[in-house]
Structure 1
Amino acid sequence: MRKELIKIMAKKNEYNYFDQFVKLEDYSCKCAEILHETLSNFKTETLGDKLKEIHKIEHSADLAKHDMMNRLASEFITPIEREDIMSLSQKIDDITDAVEDVLIKIHMFNISVIRPEVLEFTGLIVKCCESLNLALKELYNFKKSDTLNDKVIEVNHLEENGDVLYYDSVHELFTQSKDPVELLVWTEIFNRLEKCCDACESAANDIESIVMKNS
């Protein structure tokens, strides 16, 4: 019965939860792109402006999520379980927040030079967000999709690469420096970078759970 509701709701309602998931992840992708571009062409004098730019996107993502929750509260029937809609939308929002938080920490700690490992991380985060976005675009059609499972696996694989990069980066940091402030600052930044990949994997796990429940 619920499987048929997905088709019915799409026809009866202009508001489509599956489309909204993708739109929420679009915000994450945009934030990831800004983060990577900002740190690849790092200029301390423009960092404040970039922080405002990324915060504006994060705020728009919050508004879109609140709109989804308001809509959900008034719906009698939903295409998938309410708890799944709430969970997945929150997991996607967590990604956007995590990406913004990286730039906040770099600005807060008054970083003047970006370590090369950071750019590897931000490039990886962009890929994670893009793969998750593609997975979300296939979620509506999960029974017939030939790529959804591959994209979920890809996000998981990228997150594992992030774990390795995190370990190597922190190890290299402690090998090169004995300065307690430098160690504290960069360990925190690497932690925040890893959380971005973790957040993507968490959302991918929700997608996998939704597919299993509705198969």
Structure 2
Amino acid sequence: MFSLQTIFGQGNQFYTLLEEAAVAAHDSTKALHAMLKESDRQPALDAFKLARQRERETSDKISQELVDSFITPIEREDIESLSSALYKIPKQVEKFADRYSLATRHLEHIDFAPRAAMLEQAAGVVVKMVHQLRQLKLEPMKALNDQLRALENEADRLMLELYRDIYSGQLDNLQMFLLKEFFEILEKAIDRCREAGVVAYQIVLKNS
């Protein structure tokens, strides 16, 4: 049954749900960074699975609200696009954590923490961008978009450094494979943050 608030309200529940999704994504990146900073770096996968579950539940709520609500504060397609983009961030992080748990003994000499820190920063910017949707003001959103783009560019630069390490001749075949695979997963996670930021920025461009 539709409530009067659902029928005649302003659809602010969508902002709240999108914010919850962004926070869940950010929490997954914080858990990854915390794990990779530890000296033993033994994966505890519960935090990643919990963040992914929260993201999935929030995504389902958004889908249901789109069915139940007559009014949305922004276009339905934009809500769906942003929800989908946010969902992909913890999915990528969990992919890294799951595979890392299987290969820890081969990765003791590799420091992923600096790039995980960059991922955490990118997800934090996404949280701020999603919060900004309530105001739909272009200038603060543009500043955040520029910040996210700068993080993406820095991540691309670090990937070039990675390839220099891979082709240095100092690594065996297994180390080369693992180094490339895991850093590319982290790079793709940052790309997922960038994609979510682009959707948020485009929403403001359309509605400001």
TM-score by length of 1: 0.86
SS of residue paired to 1:78: coil
Asked whether 1:55 is paired with 2:52, we answer no
Residues 149 and 114 of structure 1: CA distance in aligned 2, closer, same or farther (over 3 Å):
farther
Q: How does 1:88-127 map to 2 (within 5 A)?
A: 88-111=82-105, 112-113=107-108, 115-116=110-111, 118-127=112-121
* Equivalent position of 2:183 in the other structure: 190
State the aligned residue count: 202
Residues 42 and 102 of structure 1: CA distance in aligned 2, closer, same or farther (over 3 Å):
farther
- CA distance in 2 between partners of 1:60 and 1:114 (Å): 33
- Cα deviation digits, residues 75-97 of structure 1 (max 9, x gap): 22221111111110010111111
- Cα deviation digits, residues 7-61 of structure 1 (max 9, x gap): x98x8267521121111111111111110110110425x42xx112211221121
Instruction: Give 1:148 deviation, angstroms.
Output: 1.8
TM-score by length of 2: 0.89
Instruction: Give 1:129 deviation, angstroms.
Output: 0.8
* Equivalent position of 2:17 in the other structure: 20
Identical aligned pairs, as a percentage? 20
* Equivalent position of 2:200 in the other structure: 207
Aligned partner of 1:166 among 159, 169, 190: 159
**Contact 1:42/1:114 (8 A) holds in 2:** no
Instruction: Give 1:177 deviation, angstroms.
Output: 3.0
**Contact 1:177/1:183 (8 A) holds in 2:** no
- CA distance in 1 between partners of 2:14 and 2:32 (Å): 27
- Cα deviation digits, residues 83-125 of structure 1 (max 9, x gap): 1111100101111111121111211223451523x11100101
- CA distance in 1 between partners of 2:39 and 2:76 (Å): 42
- CA distance in 1 between partners of 2:189 and 2:109 (Å): 18
SS of residue paired to 1:147: helix
Gaps of 5+ in 2: none
Asked whether 1:38 is paired with 2:35, we answer yes
**Contact 1:39/1:114 (8 A) holds in 2:** no
Which residue type is aligned with residue 137 of structure 1? H
* Equivalent position of 2:140 in the other structure: 147
**Contact 2:115/2:186 (8 A) holds in 1:** yes
Gaps of 5+ in 1: 1-7
Residues 83 and 40 of structure 1: CA distance in aligned 2, closer, same or farther (over 3 Å):
same
Residues 14 and 201 of structure 1: CA distance in aligned 2, closer, same or farther (over 3 Å):
closer
The range that moved more, 183-192 or 165-174, is 165-174
SS of residue paired to 2:142: helix
- CA distance in 2 between partners of 1:79 and 1:14 (Å): 5
Superposition CA RMSD, Å: 2.1
**Contact 1:170/1:190 (8 A) holds in 2:** no
